[in-house]
Structure 1
Amino acid sequence: MSKSRSQTDSLHSLLRPPGVSAEASRPHQRASARSCVFGARVRAGGAGPRLWPGPMALQALHSSGVAFRKILSHFPEELSLAFAYGSGVYRQAGPCSNQKNAMLDFVFTVDDPVMWHSKNLKKNWNHYSFLKVLGPKMISNVQNNYGAGVYYNPLITCDGRLIKYGVISTSILIEDLLNWNNLYIAGRLQKPVKIIALNENVALRSALDKNLKSAVTAAFLMLPESFSEEDLFLEIAGLSYSG
Structure 2
Amino acid sequence: MYNILIVDDDREIVESIEIYLKNEGFNTYKAYDGIQALDIIMSKEIHLILMDIMMPKLYGIKATIKIREEKNIPIILVSAKSEDTDKIIGLNIGADDYITKPFNLLELVARVNSNLRRYMNLGNYSNLDVNKEVIKSGGLELNTYTKEVKVDGEIIKVTPIEYKILELLLRNKGRVFSIDEIYEKVWQEESFNVENTVAVHIRRIREKIEINPREPKYLKVVWGVGYKIEKL
- Under a length normalisation based on structure 1, what TM-score does the superposition of the two structures give? 0.25
Higher helix share: 1
TM-score by length of 2: 0.26
Higher relative contact order (Cα pairs below 8 Å, separated by 6+ residues): 1
